[in-house]
Every structure is written in C-alpha cells, then in structure tokens.
Structure 1
Amino acid sequence: MGLLNRYAETLSELGSFVLPAPLKDMRVGLFNTTLANELALPEHLLQPQTMLDWLHSPVTPLTQQAFAQKYGGHQFGQWNPELGDGRGLLLAEVIDSNAQPHDLHLKGAGPTPYSRHADGRAVLRSTLREYIGAEALHYLGIPSSRSLCLFTSEDTVYRERPETGAMMIRTAPSHIRFGHFEYYFYASQKDKLQRLLDFTIEHHFAECKAATNPYAALLGAVVTRTARLVALWQTHGFVHGVMNTDNMSIHGITFDYGPFAFLDNYEPGAVFNHSDHQGRYAFNQQPGIALWNLNALAHAFSGHCSVDEIKAALSTFEPTFISQYQHLMLSRMGIETNEKEQSLAVMQSWLQILETNNLDYTYCFRQLALADINKAQCPFHDIFVSQENRFKQVTLVDQEKTDAWWESYRKLRLAREEETELLSLNPAVIPRTHLLQQAIELAEKGDFSLSESLLEATSTPYDARWDTHPFSKPPSSSTHTSLSCSS
C-alpha cells in the first residue's frame, strides 16, 4: 500500500495545508532502516536521500498534502487556544504489514498559520535528543513515538544562542492530542468535535464501536492507556518534563519530547525543565498531572457522555496506575510474591536507601539484577561507597540498615518457586543527559558517530555487553541539568 492522507482529506477544516520549507544545504544525519522496514514503506522511501529529495518538491507524495493540525492545550495548567502545529506537518500515513496505521510527521518544517510569529524551526540539539530518546523508550518497552529520519543543515536557528537548524521525521499511530478535543470543545465547534471523535473511533479505536456508548468507551480507553504509560515512566525513572495537554497523545504513548530526562541519582522531586519554576512536572508529580490532564480532556466528552460515564472512566486511572506500577516494580526486583504487603515494604525500603544516599537509580537496579542472591552478605557496600565518593558526600551509608534490608529481600527472592531473570527487566544503558550532550556537541560538528553508538546501545539496553561499557556508568556529578523547552 502507498501513502495515505486520511486525516488531511477527511478533516481538512481542522487545520491548514502547508508546504515544507527546507533548510539550507540539508543532508541526512540519521536514518532508521529497521523502522523503515517495519513500517513497510514503499521501496523508494527506504532510501533516505529520496525522502530528502521529496521534501524539496511541492508535488511529491510527502509534500502535496502536508497538513498542519489545529489544537489548543492546557500549558502549566492554563488554557491556551492559540496552539497548533507551529513547526510540524503531517506528511502522510502508512499502513504496516500488521494493518496498523503510522503517521509520518515532519518536525521543524517551517512556519505555519499556527507558528505565532515564530520561525517554525527546530534545532539539532532538541531534534537529536528526541530522535535518540524516542528510540530508547521504545526498546525499553515504553510506548513512544518513533524516529525515522533526521536531517541536519547549514542553517542557523536562533534560540538562547545560535544553533544548527534540523528537521526530523517521526512516526506515531496518529498525532491526535488531548488538545485537539479540548480546542473544538472550548471553541463551541460541535460539528468539528463530532467529526474528530468519529474519525478517532473509526480509524484508531475501532474496538469502541460496539460499546453501548462508543464515546465513553473511547474516553475509558485513553484513561487506561495513559495510566499504563505513566506507570512505565515511574518504573524506569523517566521524566517527561512538560506534560501540557497538547503534549499528551490519545494513544497513551510518550509524545513531544522536550526537556525530558532519566533520573540519575534517585530524587523523587526532580525537575529538569528550567521553565517549571513550581515543579508542576516533577518526577513524582507525573501520575497526578496525568489524571489532571485526563480530567481536562473529559470536559470535551461532556456532550457525548453522562456525568456518571465520565466519572466511571476517570475512576479507573488510579487503580490501573497503582496495579501496573506495583507489578512492574516488584517484577524488576524479582519479589512479586503472594506476600504483597511485605514485598511492597521491601520495595519502599530499597527506594529509601537510594534516595537517602543519593544513589543512581538505573545503575543500582542493574546491580541488583546482577547480585548473587545466594550470598548472605550484602553485595552493595562497595557500590554504595563508590557512589558516595563519586558525589563526595560526607554521610556514610548505614550498613546495618542495608544489611537488614538485604536479608529481607533475599528471603522474598529465595521463597519464590521460580527465579525471575532480572537482567531482562533492568537496563544497563539509558540515554543519560550527559551522553546526549556529548552526542549533540559532536553532531553539531558533523560527526554522528557517538549518536549512532548510543542508538545501538539503547536499542539493546539489556545486553550484558554494556555492563562494562562507559555508557552504563553514572555521571561524575549528581547535579541535575536544567533543560530547555525551546527547540
């Protein structure tokens, strides 16, 4: 099957047709051959140069119906109707070999009617972070948009400083956001909201069509998917950074990467977005914000669902999130037993040890997976000491408490009838902020070798070969890097 344009053709009044505006001397920086094959792209699009060439012509299947979507969103809790694809364009849609749809979306495409006087551009810094970050989450088993192709250029784009202009083509089941429904609801454009709802059910949530109320079923499905997604974020120490409703996908996938980061040292209140002065999008606030966003979305369903139906859908978030989070965490530790209360207590004690001693989240979970459970002596003293020296802390790790915790943990592990393979649940490699920054600095000089190495590592994050690789090591400082929304 070739390229489709179902959203642009069916809902043409919900946006604007806009031609991409190529950058100066664009060239391919990265191309995801694996994803291209998975998508069952037309053969000529398996060559990244073809994609690049097509973006420069107004009459190709990638450009002739390129479409900027209109939406709004709650940004840091405040409603903003003046949003939309200000630098992105929906190029086309492909149907893969499993009959699943995937948007091809160009980021950094140039000005659109929704750019709000901005340049419509993206910079290499943020584009590369999204490219690697999205692929890393996918291979960790966290639903995400995917990265197909990155283009760099000789153009200069001005943000906090002059930067290299870039574009990327990403994929997702669709680019429909919470903010789409909110916008047409608050604008009192009932007919457009109706058409958007029906399109979403028809093409993306067909399982809801048989429900007594398909719209209530749709809302319930979005709630469930979102709860499961955030449980995965919390399990892996992922911080999205800017959970505005226009950055939330109805598909329950990680979407619109901005100032994202993975935790280094375990700090539940960690904030990475330098614009988030109140800590609204801190790591430990993400579940509550997700529910807040779902409540905001639910207003758009008020003309199609009863109050009781909306309450019923929203009420499933908390139990779904808690159940999923506890299952994932206990599985990572190998202590999902019938003694759930005891298992949860051991899990909480482990997190307290990490937090109290400023220990690296991912590294310590990996070391837990590598530990010999048959040894009575706690294997973490050396790790804790080395972590302590790394951060030059004065307080010594309380060995008595860690020894007691290890004994409780061992008992739970050894009581299980079947031992869990923990190495396949605890990654050795994540796209740490300092590694991404190193890759950016090289890429800005035209060298994508480190980017490619990071992509190789994060696409096989559980492989034992990374345990002795520098990518698996925590950074030399525990200080959180403040990241920018701007790109």
Structure 2
Amino acid sequence: MSSSPHDNSVLQAPPALFDNSYARLPPQFFAEQAPTPVAAPQLIKFNAALARELGLDAEALERDGAAIFSGNKLLPGSEPIAMAYAGHQFGGFVPQLGDGRAILLGEIIDRSGKRRDIQLKGAGQTRFSRRGDGRAALGPVLREYIVSEAMHALGIPTTRALAAVSTGEPVYRERVLPGAVFTRVAASHIRVGTFQFFAARGDTDSVRILADYVIDRHYPEIKDRQNRYLTLLEAVSDRQAALIARWLHVGFIHGVMNTDNMTISGETIDYGPCAFMDHYNAATVFSSIDQQGRYAYANQPGIGQWNIARLGETLLPLIDPSEDVAVDLANAVLKAYGERFQTPWLAGMRAKIGLVAEEDGDLDLIQALLALMQQQEADFTLAFRRLAALAESEANETAFAASFKDPESTKPWLARWRERLSRDPQAPAERAQAMRSVNPAFIPRNHRIEQAIEAAIEDGDFSLFEALLTVLAKPYEDQPAFAPYAEPPQPAERVLQTFCGT
C-alpha cells in the first residue's frame, strides 16, 4: 500500500459514485484545496448505516476510516474544494468568510437518487482561513456528531455525521486540546451567505448562476415557473420557517443563526454553541458569544425572517428589472413569512398537547401552558412527555404536576385542557401514543454532552459518548435502561453557557 498522504488506492468504491457538480461551477465559487495530512489519525466513530444509505462500501470505509476521514487519503473521484461565502454575523456583514477549516470532498448520488455532499471539518487551512489554524478540537467534533444524529432521530432536517477521527495533534484554543476531524454529510453546503458573497461584489451573473444551480439541485419543481427566482425565495422561506418551527417543538436553540449558517436546502447546519432547553424560558440563551440574546429561543422565528430578507436582497436584480417592483414582490414574500412559520408551529404544538381537530382557542390554550411552564420552571421535555402519559390515564397527573414548582398551579390549565379534549375525537390510548410520537423522552441534555466530552478529552473514555448515541437514536421510546438520561440536570450539573469551538 502506498504511503502517499493522498493515496486513492484504499477505498473499494467506484469513482462513478462521485459527481462533483459544484466543482464544475466557475472558479470564483470555490478554491481547490486538498486536506492537510495529520500525524496519527484514529477512528473514533463511523456511521456505517449512513454510509450504506449513501451507497458507499461501509466495510472498506471502516477498515481504512482513520486515513480517509482525517483527509490523509482521498476517496476515489474526490475533487476537494473550499467554498466561498460571506455572511451577516450577529447583524454585522462580513464580505468574505468561506470554508476556513472545512473542505468539501465531493458529491455522491445516494441510493435514493439524492445528491449529497461529503465534507471534512477541521481538515486544515484554506484560502479562507484568515488567521485560523483550519483545525477542530475534539469537543466540538463530538458535540456535532451527537447533536446532528439526535436531530435526525427526532425527525428534524439536518446535516448528518458520517465519522469522527482524532488527529494525534494538538490544537491551541484557550488551552491545548486534542485535535479531531468531523465528516459531515449534507444535501448541500450552499448558504444565504453564498448568495451574499457575490451580491456584495455586484456580481449579478454569479448570483444568477448560483440561483439556477440551487433550483436544479434543490427545487427542480419550480424551474419552469414564470418568475422562478421569486418562487425560489418563497420556497426557501417555506423550508426555513418549517424548520425553525420544528426546532421550537423540541426546545432547540441554534445559537449562531448567522446568514452563513442558514442553508438554502432547509437543513440544520453548524452545531456550534447549540443547546436544548431544560426548564422552559422563552428568552433562553446558551451561546457564550450571543451577549445580547439575538438568537434566544423565542427570537429564532424572527431571525429566520431577517435572514430570508437578506437572501431576498441578493435576488432583487433577478426577480424584476425594476428595483421598485422587485422590492415589492420580495416584501410580499417576507410579509407571508409569519404565516409560513405559524402554521406548522401551531400544528406541531396542537399535536404536542394531543389535539387533532382545530379550534380558534387552541393558540390561547398552548400559550397558557407555555406561560405556566415558564413561571413554574417546568422542564420543557419532561412536561410534555408526562402530559402524554396523563392523556392516557388520570393516574399520571401527579407525575405531570411534579414537573412544576407548585404542582397545584397546574390544575386550572388542566381543567381547560380536559374540557378541550372532550371535543376531540381520539380515544385516550390513541391520543397518548400520538403525543409520544412527537414529544421525545430523550434529548441531547447539555450536561450529558459535556460529561461525554470531558470524559473523552480528559481520560480518552468514549463510553459516555457511545451511550448518548445509543439512547438518542430512539428518542421517542421510553428505554427504561436509560431512564436517567431523560432527567434534567441537578443544580450543580446545569450548563449555563455553550461555546462555538472554532
């Protein structure tokens, strides 16, 4: 076997699996960039099930995964590139960002006929690294692996984790940490910020090329529409609004909803300082860099709309030759965003409290529960899961009420809820089962993630990481053997801040 750092001979997968369409775009869209080899890679985790879904040779990948997923050996047919993009970061525009530590190995057509990107994060410096080292620390790699796979199991559109590799090299942050590389799979890595990169340079031709590419890849059904660029804005708005509604349903807080972290495909991407709420509070912020609470839990729908507005600005020259007409058309899309979000959010919240039919007072009933949960510091996940049990049997009321500081405070709301259920057609067992299918028993609790990361960094112990992946693969099942993982943290275990990790 050759010892070349980028030897293609190892993987027994046909080059025909790769069809690198983004690498065929004009050169201003990316920089050719091979990964930088690392000293002593070791495979931490490999997602064999996802590999098979992608049509890859899982056995070969697992055998040679340390070299392949560290970037030391390239997959056959790979054309590694770093993508160019810009972005608004906490409201301030940065005209050039780009893949500063990520390298797109290429695209494959999976077994279902869908095009998927395979990307390495932490693979070394690129043209866009600025002063960064292009590397990733082990902690953020494990966090992204855990949370992205948990989101997938929860049924929320997301990038996926294919592998995690330790590099055998240190990275230098606030302290010296073990280095790692993460392999991410996505429908694509095109962001709002990708459009902004070209719009900021007045390069309308490249904006058009990118828009046409996105339509062909992600929205082929709109290709023949009379104003396909306006329809593209509507389609992206639809997907993002629905995605953020799903985040709120499970108490997820992204933490860095910058325009460079918002995909055009509608997948959740970039799990940096993300977190899941424990006790419910609409103003919850975990990210250490979000000092003003811009990306707090309840602000996420509005930020989604703000990001769509930034996408709309880049598309104005394509929407109509008249700027005034283009602005009016784009503004109409933005004005409709509230309903685009509210409809799936309200439908999901109805399902969470066991409602099938729709009534005008449902929103008030839901908001009253959320207000009570906030006032009484109820755990978001446990309260809804226990409500599902109560829907099946009145004997479970004590457990539900125990989720609140003052159990007696739940009685007025429960009376309203029972009265509303009396007009809904489901049988109790059927209702409870439906509620359990949308109210997870298990989420990636922040303290559990931190415990897994600490054990891996300090002791080289990945058993907590593996246990988390096991339980989070079936979030809607009770799993008695993992019951402690459903519990919120003790006061001393609470995680108050999460960090970006870059």
Q: Shorter-chain TM-score: which interval?
A: over 0.9
8 Å Cα contact 2:354-2:391 kept in structure 1: no
Comparing 4-13 with 239-248, which one deviates more in the overlay?
4-13
Structure 1 unaligned blocks of 5 or more: 389-396
Deviation at 1:319, TM superposition (A): 0.3
Comparing 47-56 with 17-26, which one deviates more in the overlay?
47-56
Q: Could you list the per-position Cα deviations for residues 306-325 of structure 1 after superposition, in whole angstroms to 9, with x for gaps in the alignment?
A: 22331232233110101111
Q: In structure 2, do the counterparts of structure 1 residues 472 and 48 end up closer, same or farther at CA, with 3 Å as the change threshold? A: same
8 Å Cα contact 1:73-1:83 kept in structure 2: yes
8 Å Cα contact 2:125-2:133 kept in structure 1: yes
Question: AA paired with 1:462?
Answer: Y
Comparing 205-214 with 110-119, which one deviates more in the overlay?
205-214
Residue of structure 2 in register with 1:6 after alignment: 21
Q: In structure 2, do the counterparts of structure 1 residues 297 and 459 end up closer, same or farther at CA, with 3 Å as the change threshold? A: same
8 Å Cα contact 2:43-2:166 kept in structure 1: yes
Q: Could you list the per-position Cα deviations for residues 105-141 of structure 1 after superposition, in whole angstroms to 9, with x for gaps in the alignment?
A: 1000100010012100111111110111001111111
8 Å Cα contact 1:11-1:196 kept in structure 2: no
Question: AA paired with 1:238?
Answer: F
Provide the secondary structure at the position in 1 that maps to 2:266.
coil
Question: AA paired with 1:439?
Answer: A
Distance in 2 (CA, whole Å) between partners of 1:73 and 1:98 is 32
Provide the secondary structure at the position in 2 that maps to 1:157.
strand
Deviation at 1:198, TM superposition (A): 1.6
Q: Could you list the per-position Cα deviations for residues 131-171 of structure 1 after superposition, in whole angstroms to 9, with x for gaps in the alignment?
A: 11001111111110000000013211111221110001111
Q: In structure 2, do the counterparts of structure 1 residues 63 and 280 end up closer, same or farther at CA, with 3 Å as the change threshold? A: farther
Residue of structure 1 in register with 2:413 after alignment: 405
> Does 2:439 match 1:415?
no
> Does 2:15 match 1:15?
no
Question: AA paired with 2:412?
Answer: A
Residue of structure 1 in register with 2:206 after alignment: 192
Provide the secondary structure at the position in 1 that maps to 2:444.
coil
Structure 2 unaligned blocks of 5 or more: 1-15, 320-325
Distance in 1 (CA, whole Å) between partners of 2:272 and 2:482 is 30
Deviation at 1:382, TM superposition (A): 5.6
> Does 2:394 match 1:340?
no
Provide the secondary structure at the position in 1 that maps to 2:398.
coil
Deviation at 1:51, TM superposition (A): 4.0
Question: AA paired with 1:313?
Answer: V
> Does 2:452 match 1:433?
no
Distance in 2 (CA, whole Å) between partners of 1:167 and 1:58 is 11
8 Å Cα contact 1:74-1:245 kept in structure 2: yes
Deviation at 1:12, TM superposition (A): 3.3
Picking from 310, 323, 336, the partner of 1:316 is 336
**TM-score under structure 2 normalisation?**
0.90
Distance in 2 (CA, whole Å) between partners of 1:243 and 1:101 is 25
**TM-score under structure 1 normalisation?**
0.93
Q: In structure 2, do the counterparts of structure 1 residues 283 and 298 end up closer, same or farther at CA, with 3 Å as the change threshold? A: same
Question: AA paired with 1:29?
Answer: I
8 Å Cα contact 2:96-2:197 kept in structure 1: no
Picking from 283, 286, 299, the partner of 2:313 is 299
Picking from 131, 145, 164, the partner of 2:159 is 145
Residue of structure 2 in register with 1:29 after alignment: 44
Provide the secondary structure at the position in 2 that maps to 1:83.
coil
Residue of structure 1 in register with 2:126 after alignment: 112
Q: In structure 2, do the counterparts of structure 1 residues 319 and 466 end up closer, same or farther at CA, with 3 Å as the change threshold? A: farther
Q: How does 1:137-286 map to 2 (within 5 A)?
A: 137-286=151-300
Q: In structure 2, do the counterparts of structure 1 residues 376 and 438 end up closer, same or farther at CA, with 3 Å as the change threshold? A: closer
8 Å Cα contact 2:386-2:400 kept in structure 1: no
Distance in 1 (CA, whole Å) between partners of 2:339 and 2:155 is 21
Question: AA paired with 1:307?
Answer: V
Provide the secondary structure at the position in 2 that maps to 1:429.
coil
Q: Could you list the per-position Cα deviations for residues 255-290 of structure 1 after superposition, in whole angstroms to 9, with x for gaps in the alignment?
A: 111100000011110111111111101111111111
Q: Could you list the per-position Cα deviations for residues 39-84 of structure 1 after superposition, in whole angstroms to 9, with x for gaps in the alignment?
A: 112x267523434334677774368521000110000001001200
Residue of structure 1 in register with 2:8 after alignment: none
